[in-house]
Amino acid sequence: MKNSEAKNGKGDMSKDVEGHAFKKPQADLSEQTDKALSGLDRRDFLNVAAVGIAGMGVCGAAIPFIAQMNPSKDVSEQSKTEVDISTIQPGQTVKVVWRDQPVFIRHLTEQEITEANAVALSDLRDPETLEQRTKAGKTNWLVTMAVCTHLGCIPQGSNSSEPRGEYGGYICSCHGSAFDTAGRIRRGPAPTNLVVPPYRFISPSVISIG
Amino acid sequence: MKLSPPPYQPKNAFTRWLDDRLPVIRLWHDVMGKGYLVPRNLNWLWNFGVLAGIALTIQIITGLALAMHYVASSNEAFNSIEAIMRYVGFGWLIRYGHMVGASLFFAALYIHMFRGVYYGSYKAPREVVWLIGVLLFMLAMATAFLGYSLVWGQMSYWAAQVITGLFSVVPFVGEKIRIWVLGGFAPNAATVNRFFVLHFTLPFVILAVVGLHVWALHRQGSGNPTGIEVKKAEEVVPMQPYYIAKDLVAIGVFLLIFCSLVFFYPNIFTDPDNYIPANPFSTPAHIKPEWYFWPFYAVLRSFTVNFMGIPAKLWGVLGMGLSVLVWGLLPWLDNSPVRSGRYRPVFRCFFLLFMADILLLGFCGKQPAEEPWIRLGQWASLYYFAFFLVILPILPLVEKTKAVPSSVEEAEKKRTDA
Ligand code: HEM
Ligand code: FES
CATH of A75-209, one of 1.10.10.10, 2.102.10.10, 2.40.240.20, 2.60.120.10: 2.102.10.10
Contact at CB, A151 and B306, closer than 8 angstroms: no
pLDDT of residue A6: 43
Residue ranges of the alpha helices (H) in B166-309?
174-182, 189-220, 244-264, 294-301
CB contact at 8 A, A155 and A172? yes
B116 CB-near residues (< 8 Å, 6+ apart): B122, B130, B133
- The one-letter code for the residue type at B383 is Y
Q: HSE-up of B54 (CA within 13 Å, CB side)? A: 19
Contact at CB, A189 and B304, closer than 8 angstroms: yes
Which residue's CA is the nearest one to ligand 1's atom 16?
Answer: B99
Question: How many other C-beta atoms can be found within 10 angstroms of the C-beta atom of residue B377?
Answer: 27
Contact at CB, B186 and A72, closer than 8 angstroms: no
Q: Is 80 exceeded by the pLDDT of residue A121? A: yes
Q: What is the pLDDT of residues B142-157, one digit of tens each?
A: 999 999 999 999 999 9
Low-confidence ranges of chain B (pLDDT < 70): 1-2
pLDDT of residue B4: 83
Contact at CB, A174 and B180, closer than 8 angstroms: no
Report DSSP state, residue B367: S
Query: A96: Cβ below 6 Å to ligand 2?
Result: no
Maximal C-alpha separation, chain A: 101
Q: H or E segment at B238?
A: strand B236-238
pLDDT of residue A58: 95
DSSP-based three-state secondary structure for B289: coil
Q: Which pTM value belongs to this model?
A: 0.85
> What gap in Å lies between CA A11 and CA A2, rounded to an integer?
7
Confidence of residue A8 (pLDDT cuts 50, 70, 90): very low
**A75–B contact, CB cutoff 8 A:** yes
CA–CA distance from B209 to each of B131, B206, B216, B244, B324 (Å)? Answer: 11, 5, 11, 22, 18
pLDDT of residue A23: 54
Ligand 1 centroid to Cα of residue B98, in Å, is: 6
Taking the CA atoms of residue B381, residue B382, residue B385 and residue B388 in that order, the dihedral angle to the nearest 10 degrees is -120
Q: Answer yes or no: B222 catalytic.
A: yes
**Chain B interface, best mutation among A73, A150, A158, A161, by max B CB count within 10 A:** A150
pLDDT of residue A173: 85
CA–CA distance from B140 to each of A33, B32, B51 (Å)? Answer: 52, 24, 15
β-sheet bridge partners, residue A208 = A82, A200
Q: Answer yes or no: B273 catalytic.
A: no
For β-strands A101-107 and A93-98, DSSP reports them as antiparallel
- The one-letter code for the residue type at A205 is S
Of A66, A101, A173, the CB nearest to B186: A101
CB contact at 8 A, B157 and B187? yes
> What gap in Å lies between CA B145 and CA B191, rounded to an integer?
13
Q: What value, to the nearest 5°, has the Cα angle with vertex A86 and ends A81 and A88?
A: 90
Region A186-203 average pLDDT: 90
Q: What is the pLDDT of residues A26-45, one digit of tens each?
A: 555 555 555 555 666 888 88
Name chain B contacts of A150, Cβ cutoff 8 Å: 165, 313
**A50–B contact, CB cutoff 8 A:** no
From-to residues of CATH 2.102.10.10 in chain A: 75-209
> What gap in Å lies between CA B158 and CA B145, rounded to an integer?
11
**Nearest-ligand number for the alpha carbon of B91:** 1
CB contact at 8 A, B298 and B361? yes
Ligand 2 centroid to Cα of residue A191, in Å, is: 10
pLDDT of residue A42: 83
Residue ranges of the alpha helices (H) in B89-126?
91-118
β-sheet bridge partners, residue B277 = B153
Confidence of residue A77 (pLDDT cuts 50, 70, 90): confident
What are chain B's domains?
A: 36-282 (1.20.810.10), 288-408 (no CATH)
Q: What value, to the nearest 5°, has the Cα angle with vertex A44 and ends A38 and A49?
A: 120
* Residues 18-37 of chain A whose Cβ lies under 8 A from any Cβ of chain B: none
* Among candidate residues B39, B55, B407, the one with its CA nearest the CA of residue B243: B39
**Chain A interface, best mutation among B166, B185, B282, by max A CB count within 10 A:** B185
Ligand 1 centroid to Cα of residue B200, in Å, is: 8
Q: Catalytic positions of A, please? A: 175
Q: What is the pLDDT of residues B11-36, one digit of tens each?
A: 999 999 999 999 999 999 999 999 99
> What gap in Å lies between CA B388 and CA B327, rounded to an integer?
8
**B162–A contact, CB cutoff 8 A:** yes
* Among candidate residues A37, B1, B229, B24, the one with its CA nearest the CA of residue B10: B24
Q: Is 70 exceeded by the pLDDT of residue A1? A: no
What does the DSSP assignment read for chain A?
Answer: -HHHHHHTT---TTB-TT-PBPPPTT--HHHHHHHHHH---HHHHHHHHHHHHHHHHHHHHHHHHHHTTSPPHHHHT---EEEE-TTPPTT-EEEEEETTEEEEEEE--HHHHHHHHHS-GGG-SS---HHHHS-TT-TTEEEEESS-TTT-PPPB-SSTTS---TTEEEEETTTTEEEETTS-EEESS--SPPP---EEEEETTEEEE-
Q: Is 90 exceeded by the pLDDT of residue A11? A: no
